[in-house]
Structure 1
Amino acid sequence: MVFNLAVPMTLAYLTTPLLGLVDTAVVGRLGEASLIGGLAVGAILIDLALTTFNFLRSGTTGLTAQAFGRADAVEIQATLLRSLMIGVTCGLILLALTPLLLAIGLYLMDPGDKVAIATQQYVQIRMFGAPLALGNYAVLGWLIGLGRTKTGLLLQIVLNGTNIALSFLMGLHLGFGIEGVAAATVISELLALLLGLSICHRLLAGNKRPSSERLFDRAALWRLANLNADIMLRSFALLFAFAFFTAQGAELGEQTLAANAVLMNFLMIAGYFLDGLATSAEQLVGRAIGANYRAGFVRSLRLTLAWNLCMAALLSLIFGLFGETLIAVMTTLESVRMEASHYLLLAALLPLTGVLAFQMDGVFIGATWSREMSRMMLVSLSAYLIAWWLLQDFANTGLWLALHIFLLVRGLTLSVRLPVRVRQAFRQS
């Protein structure tokens, strides 16, 4: 059951970095370095804008799984419709704010005139897809909440596969350049959303449509708003933690910055696999909470934790044994390779120190205990900054140790809060 839910989403997550590589390869063939820079800066701005609304995926998953556990067909549909309304509305607001977002982003990043022009060309087109992208977040979260991760995989394959094909077609063969790459993404988002909505419509029970009063129920909307705010705060804190790691690495020198960037790919790769297993925890835990079934909750927790630990141990072993080879694949610079080798063991252990954080994220998202997530993230971030302050005399080794402490504290603090929340959730069972 765990792997039936986890494997499709792991494969779905793995299609995302492939898309980024293809877009870079397409723009890289246009013969202008400024276009590559424009794509990189533009992608960062788009990712920051859309990542803000990640709650549309995770929040929708938890609420849908709980409604599914209660066998509440009306609330299942209402959750999808509420999330779609919020997603499309927020996407339209982002589109309207595009000039402001561009102005602030280019001012802060100061990429140079040619790169700035390329960034504007890319972002102005990509932002037309913001309502579509956020709509896809809602659809994907709803399908995961129902346990239909294979359907989620299908949508991600359609989205990213179409995007890759259209990027080559429009960016290179039709000669639209970076604007063609941006338009390819928008078209792909539209196709994926139309397919997703078609699939959702077939899954909806025609005689279980929510009334307008149910759809706009103040308590349900307030719960969703609180859930969204907490997940947003947690996401920003997480982004800050990794940005801080990069910034401190930059202060230690160019070679250290490059080596850290190479090694952080190990955590990114591990994240795709552990996130897939966390997705299964979201669905199983949410269903148990909705059904008020404590035994099911405990069994789901144990199963997903056991598989997460096995996966983390395997990943750490692979990184430890083949890390030098992976470093060589990612960079040809001998100085960077040597620098990265010094910290290979610390990077290879990241899946093990971070496994509990990934696991607990899945559990708390599925249970919609978002307030604990945001609070414990702030506690973990504080521990991270204090650890770096205490360990900064150890230079980059201290920075990596602080990162490990951050991941450990994230998992441990949520684990400490888990028994309390379980007792509260299952008082009547």
Structure 2
Amino acid sequence: MTDIAAHRAAPELTHRRVLTIALPIVLSNATVPILGAVDTGVVGQMGQAAPIGAVGIGAIILSAVYWIFGFLRMGTTGLTAQAWGARDHAEVDAMLSRGLMIGTAAGLVMILLQAPLFAGAFMVSPASAEVEALARQYMAIRIWSAPAAIAIYGITGWLIAQERTRAVLVIQLWMNGLNIALDLLFVLGFDWGVRGVAVATFLAEWSGAGLGLWLCRGAFRGTAWRDWPRVFDRARLRHMAGVNTDILIRSLLLQGIFVSFLFLGADFGDVPLAANQILLQFLEITAYALDGFAFAAEALVGQALGARLRADLRRAALMTSAWGLLICIAMALAFAMFGGAIIDTMTTAQPVRDAARAYLPYMVAAPLVGLAAWMLDGIFIGATRTKDMRNMMLLSAAVYAAAAAALVPAYGNHGLWIAFLVSFVVRGITLGLRYPALEAQAER
């Protein structure tokens, strides 16, 4: 069974425990942009624009496709955390098997459907013939690691649920470190070009999945992971499918808000569009910093709910949110004080710099107005209250659309930013109104 000895008595819920869960995730997230920079940098040494564009667009397309399966990470975390809190170790191990099977099956489907997927992607985002040819070469190699890449979502969610975020950090460091080393070897050493970047990622993802399985080896020492009647239990599979479907719908609606924000911004011209794109990087930085505490909320709330400990559930929600508030205040202050300098490092175009500075106050406000939405997402994922997440996101998207329709014609890009931030406020408020029902669930 899964490390039962380590779970004899639940540790006290302290700030140190929260930080022990959160900080490895923050460090893990910090490695992601480094890898992207290296991928771009090594092909940039080829002295041609097409390879850079090919790696960029190929990575974006595959990331978007894999992102669809992000529900596997979130759903696995919530369900596993609840089983862990209830001390149902057989179900914890069965959840690992389900996550691995779903990830592997999804990856195989991606391999089988690669031709129409790639064709559709280039219809939506056309590129020059040279860039498209190189991007197709890149994706044709990387797609073969899709089962590993998606299965890692399940592995990561399973580990987070048990507060094993150091293991998640190890996987991320190994994958990205190996990827960077192989990038340098294959592209600069062997002169494989775009193909070298793809092979490096392919090997890194499969090795990352292998390392993840090794870190989960405690589950494979028992028999529950292959207790097929339990693993394929209809009621449990139906519940997992419902949770994952709700999260998928919620995520698609959220992505729709971001995509429409960019598309609507494009109507104002290249300069506002570029300014918006730069400022969204500030939001991404905030999300990376906050993820650790949202993930901590997922694990701790899920465990408390599984153990039917309402007081612990409330304490977990409050403690993780308090840390989230500190992070968001720090981000807002940093953007207010250094936002202009950050903008200047991201672009040398003076019109874009000026435009980004004009809209910077919205990004200073974003961490504060978005805090409730981000932290409540983690709390509701841990409780698997995914119908609430889906419904409140639907409402938020509708309010965003209405606000954009009313404000953009009158206030232009300023109106678009206001509508964008309003969507976060509405999501935070509506999820907050559903929180009492979530807490009451711990007593049933």
**TM bracket, shorter-chain basis:** over 0.9
For residue 56 of structure 2, what is the aligned residue in structure 1? Answer: 40
**2: CA distance between counterparts of 1:204 and 1:69?**
20
> How far off is 1:2 after superposition?
1.1
**2: CA distance between counterparts of 1:204 and 1:63?**
19
For residue 194 of structure 2, what is the aligned residue in structure 1? Answer: 178
**1: CA distance between counterparts of 2:417 and 2:256?**
16
SS for the counterpart of 2:216 is helix
**Which digits, 9 at most, give the CA deviation of each residue in 1:1-48, with x for residues without a partner?**
111111101111121111111111111112221211211221121011
For residue 164 of structure 1, what is the aligned residue in structure 2? Answer: 180
**Which digits, 9 at most, give the CA deviation of each residue in 1:119-141, with x for residues without a partner?**
10111111011001011111111
For residue 351 of structure 1, what is the aligned residue in structure 2? Answer: 367
After TM superposition, the structure 1 stretch with the greater mean CA deviation from structure 2, 187-196 or 26-35, is 26-35
**2: CA distance between counterparts of 1:426 and 1:280?**
18
**2: CA distance between counterparts of 1:378 and 1:195?**
38
Q: Does 1:411 align with 2:428?
A: yes
> How far off is 1:175 after superposition?
0.9
> How far off is 1:202 after superposition?
2.9
Alignment of 1:240-259 (within 5 A): 240-259=256-275
Alpha carbons of structure 1 residues 339 and 209: separation in structure 2 relative to 1, 3 Å = closer
**Which digits, 9 at most, give the CA deviation of each residue in 1:154-197, with x for residues without a partner?**
11100111111111111221111111101111100111111111
Alignment of 1:107-118 (within 5 A): 107-118=123-134
**1: CA distance between counterparts of 2:221 and 2:314?**
31
For residue 318 of structure 2, what is the aligned residue in structure 1? Answer: 302
| Amino acid across the alignment from 2:72 | L
**Alignment counterpart, residue 143 of structure 1, candidates 140, 159, 181:** 159
**2: CA distance between counterparts of 1:81 and 1:259?**
45
| Unmatched runs of 5 consecutive residues or more in structure 2 | 1-16
Q: Does 1:24 align with 2:40?
A: yes
Alpha-carbon contact 1:74-1:210 (below 8 Å) kept? no
**Alignment counterpart, residue 28 of structure 2, candidates 2, 6, 12:** 12
Alpha-carbon contact 1:57-1:138 (below 8 Å) kept? yes
Q: Does 1:77 align with 2:99?
A: no
- C-alpha RMSD of matched pairs (Å): 1.1
For residue 340 of structure 2, what is the aligned residue in structure 1? Answer: 324
SS for the counterpart of 1:349 is helix
Count of residue correspondences: 427
For residue 311 of structure 1, what is the aligned residue in structure 2? Answer: 327
| TM-score, length of structure 1 as denominator length | 0.98
Alignment of 1:39-58 (within 5 A): 39-58=55-74
**1: CA distance between counterparts of 2:227 and 2:295?**
30
> How far off is 1:421 after superposition?
2.7
For residue 385 of structure 1, what is the aligned residue in structure 2? Answer: 401
Alpha carbons of structure 1 residues 209 and 406: separation in structure 2 relative to 1, 3 Å = closer
SS for the counterpart of 2:430 is helix
For residue 239 of structure 1, what is the aligned residue in structure 2? Answer: 255
> How far off is 1:207 after superposition?
5.5
**2: CA distance between counterparts of 1:12 and 1:94?**
26
Alpha carbons of structure 1 residues 6 and 68: separation in structure 2 relative to 1, 3 Å = same
**Which digits, 9 at most, give the CA deviation of each residue in 1:328-347, with x for residues without a partner?**
11111111111111111111
After TM superposition, the structure 1 stretch with the greater mean CA deviation from structure 2, 204-213 or 29-38, is 204-213
For residue 292 of structure 2, what is the aligned residue in structure 1? Answer: 276
SS for the counterpart of 1:31 is coil
SS for the counterpart of 1:52 is helix
For residue 362 of structure 1, what is the aligned residue in structure 2? Answer: 378
| Amino acid across the alignment from 2:23 | V
> How far off is 1:375 after superposition?
1.1
| TM-score, length of structure 2 as denominator length | 0.94
| Amino acid across the alignment from 1:111 | A
For residue 420 of structure 1, what is the aligned residue in structure 2? Answer: 437
